[in-house]
Amino acid sequence: MAQSTDPRPAERQDVTDEQRRKVAQTLAAVAERYAAEEAGALVDEFEFVMRVGTDAYAVTGLGVQGGPKLTAGLVRELVGDVTVMTRGYLSARLRDLVAEWDDNEPAIPKHPVPGPRESDESGRVPGPRRGELAQVSQ
């Protein structure tokens, strides 16, 4: 007789925001690996499953309490069949999925930070004057 606390595999639970972030991080990590390697080579399905599993394990905090399994399962479900894809195509597809799954846009846009200013002979670093850009030493 089934108990009310038994898991019901036929019912799918909603994905939490934290799980969405973990999936997006895993997708990005796998996409980065495939972008760095031979873009024209076909994807090996076993290698893909292993990469997704190891990256999910790393992203979820090196725990085995269901986080990596859930994250890797969601990633594999999202991507689908990879046997007919090249590494470059898969990398681009994964990046598109990251854009869909990562809804954490930065609240403050990032602007380039100016580099260090050159000091004069006294060691004093002058501040930029209004209307002028500070010159960056290289």
CA dist., res. 51 & res. 64, Å (int) = 16
CA dist., res. 56 & res. 59, Å (int) = 5
Query: Are the C-beta atoms of residues 78 and 23 closer than 8 Å to each other?
Result: yes
Residue 48 confidence class, pLDDT cut points 50, 70, 90: very high
pLDDT at 58 over 50: yes
pTM, two decimals, is 0.62
Of the listed ranges 19-23, 66-70, 99-103, the least confidently predicted one is 99-103
Element (H, E) at 74: helix 67-79
- pLDDT given at position 108: 45
- Per domain, the residue ranges of the chain are 17-101
pLDDT at 128 over 80: no
For 6-16, letters b (16+ CB in 10 Å) and e give eeeeeeeeeee
